[in-house]
Each structure stands twice: as C-alpha cells, then as structure tokens.
Chain A
Amino acid sequence: ETGVTQTPRHLVMGMTNKKSLKCEQHLGHNAMYWYKQSAKKPLELMFVYSLEERVENNSVPSRFSPECPNSSHLFLHLHTLQPEDSALYLCASSQGTGGEKLFFGSGTQLSVL
C-alpha cells in the first residue's frame, strides 16, 4: 500500500465515450502527477499539479483534461479518445516538487476500442 489509490483498475471505452480516472493520496503531499505508459515505451509525464495549480502540461492533447480540486485528489477526464491512447495511466504524488521521490498508484489499464 503506497498511500496513493487509483480507480478504476481497468477501463474499456469506446472512442465516443467520456470517462474519468480518479486518484487519491493519503500522504499529505502537495504535488500530484499523471504519467502514461504505452506498450514498449518509457513512462511519459503528462501533467504536474503543485498545491492544486497545474505547473506542467507536457504537450498532451486536449482530449485529456486534468482536474485537481484539492491537494488530495486528481482526476483525468477522457473524451473522444483514440485507440492509440490505450495505455497504463499512473498517478503519483510527492511531498513537493524539489526533487522528492514519487509515490505511485497501481494504475488504470485503459483500452480504447
């Protein structure tokens, strides 16, 4: 148990669906992240939130929309995704953004049909 919980663990959606991924951290951290791992590729940073403010948007298409309502919760809203968006989406948190280690959730395995 890392203190970072992601739901759902698995998600299958059509290209016209709208869904959301949820992440919650119970560690009192101030920073939260979304990472994507596609097959046979390294983990790619998508978004960074620090104290509920988005501080990094790593050229992610607008069909991915993050939301951070408070420092414990992070969402990734998905709409009109493409099959190539099928991947493992990992949430992480850290105490701050000064080089501290990341605590990861177990991920959501997303399949877009």
Chain B
Amino acid sequence: ILNVEQSPQSLHVQEGDSTNFTCSFPSSNFYALHWYRWETAKSPEALFVMTLNGDEKKKGRISATLNTKEGYSYLYIKGSQPEDSATYLCASSLAAGNKLTFGGGTRVLVKP
C-alpha cells in the first residue's frame, strides 16, 4: 500500500505572502507525482504532473519541485491571493496505469 502524506493539513496565509507545503511519498518504484487544486463546490483541477527527479514546474504564481530520491515534493504559492484559497492534493503512482494514491490534502485559506 502506497502511503502519501501531506503537511500541514491546513494553513492560513495573509494576502500577498508566499507559502509552501509538502507532499511525501515512498521513493522506491516511483513513477509519477500529480498536484491538483480543489476549490470548494468545484472539481479538482490538475496543476502539475512530474516524473523526473529534480523536475520543477510553474503555472503563474504556483510552482512545484520534485525529489524522487528522498520522496518529497513542494508546492509554492508566490504572493498569495484570495482566489488561491483551495485544498491542494498530491497523488503518487508506482507504475503506469494511473493507479494514483492521494494524500489527505493541504487546505489553504488566504485572508485579505
């Protein structure tokens, strides 16, 4: 069973501040790491899919890094805005087949 952990479970961020949070996963037999953003009353939306150690991906003010050797990924939000408030999910898989195991999510609340 693949164990994917996210921390913290929740965090409050002042508008304009930057923040980051962690996803940890087993490093052996790693295949892919996904990040999703899930806003209240909406569908989870894919942010990034990363497969290579050292990968860095960026989408606007949001970026992510991947360390497959030690089994962690960071998600960064630069200059947080209220519209960044959401639950951020990571998911990892051991092999092709898209059998993703999700973490419990980090709930981010950006205060104006």
Contacts and interface: CB of A to CB of B under 8 A. Distances in A.
B99 A48 contact: yes
Nearest to B97: A97
A99 B96 contact: yes
A105 B43 contact: yes
B51 A99 contact: yes
Interface residues of B, number: 26
Contacts of B45: 2, 104
B97 A55 contact: yes
B43 A104 contact: yes
A56 B99 contact: yes
Interface in B67-107: 89, 91, 93, 96-105
A2 B43 contact: yes
Among A58, A94, A96, A104, max chain B CB count under 10 A is at A104
A99 B93 contact: yes
Interface in A66-107: 90, 94, 96-107
Interface string A1-17: 01010000000000000
A41 to B, nearest CB: 7
The DSSP consensus for interface residues of chain A is loop
Contact of A100 (B41, B49, B105): B49
In this complex, which of B31, B46, B96 has the most chain A Cβ atoms within 10 angstroms of its Cβ? B46
A98 B46 CA distance: 15
Given A2-B43, A107-B43, A42 B105 contact: yes
Contacts of A44: 102
- 7 closest A-B pairs by beta carbon, nearest first, are A101-B46, A99-B32, A43-B102, A104-B43, A97-B98, A42-B102, A104-B44
11 contacts: A43-B102, A44-B102, A48-B99, A56-B97, A90-B43, A94-B98, A99-B32, A99-B93, A99-B98, A104-B36, A105-B43
Interface of B: 4, 31-32, 34, 36, 41-46, 49, 51, 89, 91, 93, 96-105
